[in-house]
Amino acid sequence: MPTFLQSKAIREEIADGKANLETFVELIDGEDRTPTAEEQADIDAQIQTIGMPANGDDPATGLYAKLARAEKFEAIKAAKVGGDIPAQQAAPGASEGGVIQLSRITVPAQYKRHGKLKAYKGPDAEKKAFIAGQFCLASVWGHQPAIEWCENNGIALVRNAMSGIGGAKGGFLTPETMESSIIELRESYGVFRMEAGFRSMPADVHNFPKDNDEVTTYFVQEGVDITDDDNDVTNVELVARKLAALVKHSSEISEDAVVSVGDFITRKIAHGFAKKEDECGFNGNGEQSNGGITGVLNAVNAGAIHQAATGKLAFSDLEYLDFETVVGKLPQYAAGNAKWYVSRAGFYASMANLANANGGNTKDDAAEGPNAMQFMGHPVVFSQVLNSTLGDQADAKVIIFGDLEMGAYFGERRGIDIAASEHRYFESDQIGIRGTERFGINVHEVGDATTAGSLVVLQLAAS
């Protein structure tokens, strides 16, 4: 999400939301009934998203709060364009409609002394890192020249109402270029967010319908009523959890290091978010340390688990029969997009080892390795949060096979916020920089005692 949205766009979003809500309510009224619990939850969520305008002592909420911020920022911009600041201090056209125009951003020569960038890629990488660095200098260190640069280039230093950490008084909404890079890195590092069914959450708790059955068909005679299909539809609940990543940095910062600062903070926050999302989605045990999330390995029921035979206690002990049994357990409806999820160490100790043992490889095959990253006709996806221990480990769940997009939902409630505290690491003359996000995970295709859902787990032997 951009830091700043045009008020016109927000008004249109409010109008669309109201129209959809009115249509929904009119439909229920037309059927002369009260809304079901599920429908009422949807109505409440839509109302919360639209929010309420400011009224007396009550502040605006939802989209109306965004509208108020956008209108205030537009007024500030209009005043500056009118001549309140000297023309030579401004950067006219660097931001249009709240969207930063990278083509009109220039990185001064004194800021180009930095190493290879890691968080930002492509032809505009340096510009994006420069923008992120200026934002961090302004919002975290309170650097006055950076504050002026952000104001002059359309980067609104908008605070949210987030509680602080050890003296911080709230978080700043990140600029679009920085958040998009965090998203790209998170998707590069993180597997679960990329592979699971992604859902945008309009509220902290939201239910998404799941169709459990296929439509039943019947042969009928002329003039005979067709039996209607009572389709079994249930809800999958997503609950948004707040995740925070805390980065330490020197409290003293050189203005010349602005590009490196933006790159460093972006990369650290993205990596922290991605790793935790994967840990929750794959290994979560429902405890507070996992945000109350139960991941795939602990969510699936007995019918979705294949346990290797006695004596197979390590990756290297697994045989083709084990993998064939896993593939055979997966229902046909989940086979089209099925993938293997395994650690790199586990893959090379088991699947790649079995493939190499088949023989028939040329020296070119041996040199290139398994570039296709497939096994038994299905793609292999590495996740380093999955088990990578190569020795004996009884009862360890080591590999997942199936359609993760079908079997689990990943919900995103909001994007990235940045907050800082000069007190968090006072004794070491460092500053604490925190990024937060809100997301939810629900692994819902878990099978039952005898039958697998869309995900199957391979477990090592008990002894």
* Structural domains of the chain, ranges and CATH numbers in brackets: 85-213+238-463 (3.90.1690)
Residue with the larger pLDDT of the pair 390 and 210: 390
Which tens digit of pLDDT belongs to each residue from 27-43?
Answer: 888 788 888 888 888 88
- pLDDT for 173-222, tens place per residue? 566 666 666 666 655 667 998 899 888 888 888 888 776 555 566 667 77
Q: What is the pLDDT of residues 43-55, one digit of tens each?
A: 888 888 888 887 7
Q: What is the pLDDT of residue 420?
A: 64
pLDDT digits (tens, 9 = 90+) for 73-105: 666 555 544 433 332 233 334 444 445 566 667
As a whole-number percent, the residues of the chain with pLDDT over 70 amount to 66
SS3 letters for the chain? CCCCCCHHHHHHHHHHHHHHHHHHHHHHHHCCCCCCHHHHHHHHHHHHHHCCCCECCECCCHHHHHHHHHHHHHHHHHHHHHHHCCHHHCCCCCEECCEECHHHCCCCHHHCCCCCCCCCCCCCHHHHHHHHHHHHHHHCCCCHHHHHHHHHCCCCCCECCCCCCCCCCCCEECCHHHHHHHHHHHHHHCCHHHHCEEEECCCCEEEEEEECCCCCCCCCCCCCCCCCCCCCEEEEEEECEEEEEEEEEECCCCHHHHHHHHHHHHHHHHHHHHHHHHHHHHHCECCHHHCCCECHHHHCCHHHEEECCCCCCCHHHCCHHHHHHHHHHCCHHHCCCCEEEECHHHHHHCHHHHHHHCCCCCHHHHHHCCCCCEECCEEEEECCCCCCCCCCCCCCEEEEEECHHHHEEEEEEEEEEEEEEEEEEHHHCEEEEEEEEEEEEEECCCCCCCCCCCEEEEECCCC
pLDDT > 80? residue 5: no
pLDDT at residue 81, as a whole number: 42
pTM of the predicted structure, to 2 decimals? 0.63
